[in-house]
Structure 1
Amino acid sequence: MGWTTRFLTAVAFLAIGVIFSPEIFGSDGSGSLKLSTYLKLAHLLSFSTAWGAALWVTFIGGIIMYKNLPRHQFGNLQSKMFPAYFSMVGICCAISMVSFGYLHPWKSSSTAEKYQLGFLASALAFNLTNLFVFTPMTIEMMKQRHKVEKEENIGEEIGRSKNTEVAKVNPKLAAMNKKFGMIHGLSSLANIMAFGSLAMHSWYLAGNLNL
């Protein structure tokens, strides 16, 4: 099943859900679909997408790929995946923040609601920082380091890297490792902070759901 088919299938199910929603075929028979319902749906879908993607990439998918792919292949895959990942999560965070802000205007919102808007804004900011600052720097440094590693005939190993041993006798590679580690560390920290902000909002949503 291609991506277009999958997308259209998801849209079709969403459309069916909207058509048969209680606001249209409810017991009150009002037949009016409120704007707030659309905004809540947009918020919930965007947040859940961002949360699920962050959980998978941070704690599951990345670890599986690292343990099963040659290191250079893993790095090249990450360099293609992370810009798309941060773009998607950033867009979802923006939609969640805007819809939540509309539903809870700042002047009339409670302290808890203001905190939630702050968490969503933080998640957006951390993702945009990763997308436009840390990720391009990390990818560029990774490419430079891969070039040096290929000259040393390393980088195709799976799991534990031979980089550390080679860097002991290669000052250029050692310097690259230090710079790469710093940039990658900042990128990882920003990603964790974004995930933590989303986690805080998930707790708020759980406390306000009527199941």
Structure 2
Amino acid sequence: MEGPVPIQDAMAGDTQPSNTIKLLHLLFLSTSWGMQVWVTFVAGFVMSRHLPRHTFGSIQRELFPYYFHISSTCAFLNLTLFAMSHPSERLGEEHTTQIIVFLVCIAASVLNTQWFGQVTSDIVAELHLVERSQGLGQEVGLAASEPRRQLRASNPSYRQLARRFALFHALSSLCNLCCIVCNGLSLYHLAARLSAL
């Protein structure tokens, strides 16, 4: 005959998230991370090398708002599900670190969604207008760099726009990489708790 369940075991069982919560958490985290890796390291490079520059820019301007909003939503839902499953009075150092990682991911995603990504897209649209007026924009891959370099040298307003684009694109890329790292750390946190595949 079995004795009563120890209090520690009963308490551990009470704090375990349901399989549905675990599934949702894994689904949002893996969706976000997979999308970020694909967009950052595969789709962007392939399109930039095989599409006319303005076509590539137009596709990015249409896709990036969805990309940034999905990333922000997944980051927020991951934090929410994790926080719901780990009451604050029982948080250990590792869980607190995980919540900080989710908060950083949300902050970087929201910055991209609301500011850096939008400003970058607006500047690209302005650059494309100037380039079209000079008959540029249909170059593919590395062939696009030399005509733009010459335009920067001869047109001060275009040069200033190009500098602003470089700044905001760098900030947007930094936020994006920050999200990839945060989601990678979160996946590592989950993988470290798997007893089997």
TM-score class, shorter = 0.7 to 0.9
Paired-residue identity, %: 30
- Out of 127, 139, 145, the position equivalent to 1:157 is 139
Matches within 5 A, 1:1-150: 36-150=18-132
- Which of residues 144, 167, 174 is equivalent to 1:182? 167
Aligned length: 178
Q: CA deviation at 1:78?
A: 0.2
Q: Which of residues 155, 164, 167 is equivalent to 2:152?
A: 167
Q: Distance in 1 between matches of 2:79 and 2:185?
A: 14
Q: TM-score, normalization: structure 2? A: 0.87
**What SS is found at the alignment partner of 2:117?**
helix
RCO comparison, higher one (Cα < 8 Å, 6+): 2
Q: Which is helix-richer, 1 or 2?
A: 2
2:186 equivalent to 1:204: no
In the alignment, is the contact (CA less than 8 A) between 2:17 and 2:85 conserved in 1?
no
- Following superposition, the deviation at residue 35 of structure 1 comes to 6.0
SS of the residue aligned with 1:208? coil
Q: Which runs of 5+ in 1 are unaligned?
A: 1-33
- Segment drifting more, 91-100 vs 75-84: 91-100
Gaps of 5+ in 2: 1-15
Q: Distance in 2 between matches of 1:164 and 1:210?
A: 55
Matches of 1:163 and 1:183 in 2, distance apart? 18
The 2-side partners of 1:171 and 1:209 are apart by: 57
| CA deviation profile, 1:121-146 (whole Å, cap 9, x unmatched) | 21111111101111111111111110
Tell me the TM-score normalised to structure 1 length: 0.81
